[in-house]
Amino acid sequence: MSAIRRTTRETDIRLELALAASDNPDAPAGIDTGDRFLDHMLETLARYGDLGLRVRATGDLHHHLVEDVAITLGAAFREVIPEKCARYGAATIPMDDALVQAAVDVGGRAFYGGALPDGLYDHFMRSLADNAGWTLHLVVERGADKHHVVEAGF
């Protein structure tokens, strides 16, 4: 399990991450960033990734908050993913009108290739990949509802 605190002039983030929800029984209900959409995306990631995730964040409710949560989450993933693990993964996610392909390599080389329809969440994914040391590709096949496209990306 990883426990990280990141404090900047704009934000204060406290995050705990375990690779199995059973290792952090308070999650995913323990997410409160003050941004309901970000909370929903993190809860989605925790639920479908079977992650034990707790996040408490305060600060700027726009760019800095989202970016700093991504940076902190990436650093936590870097700590908890074992050196010997299933290095590659891929999925195609249908969510209502959205269809998103995701592929990841957790081998330590940071790169993000994607184009989510919301620039802030595209930046979230780039910050996550950079700080986790992942190669992450998101390909949006279709989707009219930006919420569904971003959620499928998570």
Residue pLDDT, tens place only, 76-105: 999 999 877 889 999 999 999 999 999 999
CATH number for position 79: 3.30.230.40
Average pLDDT over residues 113-135: 97
**What is the C-alpha to C-alpha distance for residues 15 and 26, in angstroms, rounded to an integer?**
12
The domain in which residue 54 lies consists of 2-153
- Indicate the range of 43-52, 82-91, 122-131 predicted with least confidence: 82-91
92 C-beta neighbours (distance < 10 Å), count: 12
Average pLDDT over residues 21-46: 84
Residue 50's pLDDT band (boundaries 50, 70, 90)? very high
Residue 139 confidence (pLDDT) above 90: yes
Average pLDDT over residues 138-154: 98
Instruction: Report how many domains make up the chain.
Output: 1
**Would you say the pTM of this structure is higher than 0.85?**
yes
Q: Which of 111, 45, 103 is nearest to 76 (CA)?
A: 45
Count helices and strands in the chain by DSSP H and E runs: 4, 8
Task: Provide the token pair at 135.
Answer: 């190669």
Query: Which phi and psi (to 5°) does residue 121 adopt?
Result: -80, -25
User: What is the overall mean pLDDT for the chain?
Assistant: 94
Residue 144 confidence (pLDDT) above 80: yes
Average pLDDT over residues 111-133: 97
Instruction: Please report the pLDDT score of residue 25 as a whole number.
Output: 63
